[in-house]
Amino acid sequence: MVFTQHHDIQDRPAGPLAVNAPVQRARRLRLPTTAAFYLLASIVVSFLAGSSAPTPLYRVYQSEWGFSPMTITIVFGVYAVAVLAALLTVGTLSDHVGRRPVLLVALVLQAAVMVIFATAGGVPALLVARVVQGLSTGAAVGAVGAGMLDLDKAKGTMANAVAPVTGTATGALVSGLLVQFLPAPTHLVYLVLLGIFILQALGVALMSETSTSEAGALASLRPEVRVPPAVRRPLLVAIPALVAVWALGGFYASLGPDLVRQVVGSSSPVLGGLALFVLAACGALAVLFFRATPPRTVMFIGTLGLVVGVGLTLLAVALTSAVPFFIGTAVGGVGFGAGFQGAIRTVLPLAAPHERSGVLSTVWIVSYLALGLPAIVAGFLVVHGGGFLSTTRQYGVAVIVLAVLALAGLAWSGSTPADERPGIGRSVAGGEHHAEAALPSSMCSKAGPVHSSGATSIHTRTSLVSAKRSVGSGSMAIGDVTAPT
What angle, 0 to 180 degrees and rounded to 10, lies between the N-to-C axes of helices 69-89 and 58-65?
A: 130
Q: What is the mean pLDDT of the chain?
A: 76
Which residues face 4 on adjacent strands?
A: 30
Which is nearest to 47 in space by CA: 172, 160, 133? 133
φ/ψ of residue 306, rounded to 5: -65, -45
Ramachandran quadrant class, 467 (left: phi over 0; alpha: psi -120 to 50; beta: rest)? alpha
- Are 161 and 447 within 8 A, CB to CB? no
CB atoms within 10 A of CB 431: 11
| pLDDT tens digits along 311-358 | 999 999 999 899 999 999 999 999 998 988 888 788 877 777 666 656
Q: What is the DSSP letter of 241?
A: H
Which pLDDT tens digit goes with each residue over 183-225? 888 899 999 999 999 999 999 988 888 777 677 777 667 766 6
User: What is the CA 54 to chain-centroid distance, rounded?
Assistant: 16
DSSP 11-31: GS--SGGGGGS-TT--EEEE-
- Asked if 295 contacts 417 with a C-beta cutoff of 8 angstroms, the reply is yes
Task: Give the C-alpha separation, 33 to 56, whole Å.
Answer: 36
Q: Which residue has the higher pLDDT, 133 or 99?
A: 133
Q: Count CB neighbours of 427 within 10 A.
A: 16
Q: What is the dihedral of CA 154, 155, 157, 158, to 10 degrees?
A: 130
The terminus-to-terminus CA distance of the chain in angstroms comes to 32
Which residue would you say has higher pLDDT here, 461 or 3? 3
Rounded to an integer, what distance in angstroms lies between the CA atom of residue 289 and that of residue 121? 43
Helices (H), 290-355: 295-319, 322-347
As a whole number, mean pLDDT of residues 118-135 equals 93
CA distance 439 to 42: 17
* Rounded Cα–Cα distance for residues 296 and 190 (Å): 41
d(CA 367, CA 373): 10
From the CA atom positions of the chain, what is the Rg in Å? 22
Break the chain into its structural domains and give their ranges. 29-210+231-418+426-483
Strands 482-483 and 4-7: unpaired
Whether residue 478 has pLDDT greater than 80: no
Cβ neighbours around 349 below 10 Å, total: 23
pLDDT band at 138 (very low <50, low <70, confident <90, very high): confident
Helical H segments across 182-294, by residue range: 188-205, 229-264, 269-289
- Superfamily of domain 29-210+231-418+426-483 in CATH is MFS general substrate transporter like domains (1.20.1250.20)
Q: Name the pairing type of β-strands 457-460 and 27-30.
A: unpaired
Task: Taking residues 391-410, report their average pLDDT.
Answer: 91
Checking if the pLDDT of 306 tops 90, the result is yes
pLDDT number for residue 196: 94
Rounded (10°) angle between helices 229-264 and 356-384 = 30
Q: What is the pLDDT of residue 225?
A: 67
